[in-house]
Amino acid sequence: MIENYNIPFWIYLAVVSLFVGGAMKKILACHLSVGPTLVAWLGATVLVERLWVVCLPAMLLLVLLAAMGCIYSRSRTAQLPNLPAQGKAVFITGKRSDGGEGLSSLDLQGCATIGTLLESRGDKKSSAVAGGLWGLVNNAGVCVNFGEAELSLMSTFRGCMEVNFFGTVDVTKSFLPLVRQAKGRIVNISSPAGDQPFPCLAAYGASKAALNLFTETLRHELNPWGVRVSTILPSSYKTATSTNHAYWEQQHKLLLQSLSPALLEEYGEDYMTETKDLFHSFSEHANPDLSPVINTIVKALLSPQPQARYYAGPGIGLMYFIHSYCPFSISNRFLQKLFLKKSLVPRALRKQSGLDMNLGLHNNNNEEKLQQL
């Protein structure tokens, strides 16, 4: 369906078409300039040139029509009224302290929200089964690592995967019969870290990458049943866990105690402390207003034609555009400047850099002495 694509994709297609066409013309021109042995190619070259003159406007017209169709489809969808929310039971996972409380505003839309999973697993699940279920919002998630993959404990990788991926799979499989029967909605809250390599978030990002693939597969599998599945990718928001300094200090001490002396020496305690402080600063400056995410969840639940993916919060669309269409060097630098602005490098690299500098000065002095002789 054309509504699953966005305008930047068609712009990208047009640019690629122009680039490929220009490259073909240059290649043919190079072949013709080699010598008379390629005169036989002249007829084919003229034909390609003529086809290029005809195909280029046609391709640009196709891209223009596709973009117009995309805009028309989106505008038509926006004009359609939301689905009636009265009587629709929605189960929401996650802690109230990490946004679950704000999600109770779905009650104002007419949906009957059924608690949060991490606070009362058994009671809420039984009440959902008893009252029927139409929507499922997998909002539960944890981010417990703040360091390079080499420094992250295996328990950190397993913890992130257990909650962010296996927990979502478990809840979804438990409630799928009810959601299928109601031809309802499933909304999974993921993260851009599951699509883009954020520094020092390997464990968290890997769990969200697994969640993204599971959600996309589920979307295809449940489409014939009339169940719509969406992924929401929020920007950085302030939650109770992310701003709990005592918790992060405890995790930091545990990390220092668990590392081998050799690894601690190579990275340096000051390097890891700076990483922890940068995480604190990043979480402190995060957006405390969760309304963009909540409004997007409501849209994904009640829209007559929900999108496969939603970007919730400022800057997410730009981030994905840079990641998808810009050269790797640009997108990589953008992520580093956006997330953690580190001033230190690991201690071993600092020593190596100092050694290289001393060797360079020593070699320069030797060259000067040789020139004097």
Which residues, given as ranges, of the chain have pLDDT below 50? Answer: 1-7, 28, 31-32, 34, 36-39, 42, 108, 117-124, 126-130, 370
Q: What is the pLDDT at residue 65?
A: 73
- Token pair listed for 346: 């690991």
Q: What is the pLDDT at residue 305?
A: 92
The sheet with strand 112-116 has its strands ordered as 112-116, 89-92, 135-138, 185-189, 228-234, 309-312
- Helix, strand, coil percent content, the chain, rounded in steps of 5: 65, 10, 25
Stated as kind and residue range, the H or E segment containing 123 is: helix 121-131
Residues 6+ apart with CB under 8 A from 325: 8, 12
Largest CA distance in the chain: 96
Q: Would you call 204 a catalytic residue per the annotation?
A: yes
CA angle centred on 294, ends 290 and 295, rounded to 5°:
115
The Cα–Cα gap between 223 and 35 comes to: 59
CA angle centred on 302, ends 297 and 303, rounded to 5°:
100
Nearest Cα to Cα of residue 311 among 295, 288, 287: 295
The Cα–Cα gap between 234 and 314 comes to: 9
Q: What is the pLDDT at residue 194?
A: 93
The Cα–Cα gap between 228 and 180 comes to: 10
Q: What is the pLDDT at residue 172?
A: 96
Predicted TM-score (pTM) of this structure: 0.72
- Token pair listed for 266: 């190579």
Q: What is the pLDDT at residue 131?
A: 74
Residue among 5, 12, 72, 204 flagged as catalytic: 204
- Token pair listed for 147: 């360091």
Q: What is the pLDDT at residue 356?
A: 58
With tokens 């302030």, the residue in question is 238
Which class would CATH give 89-120+129-352? alpha beta
DSSP state of 167: I
Domain spans in the chain, listed from the N-terminal domain onward? 89-120+129-352
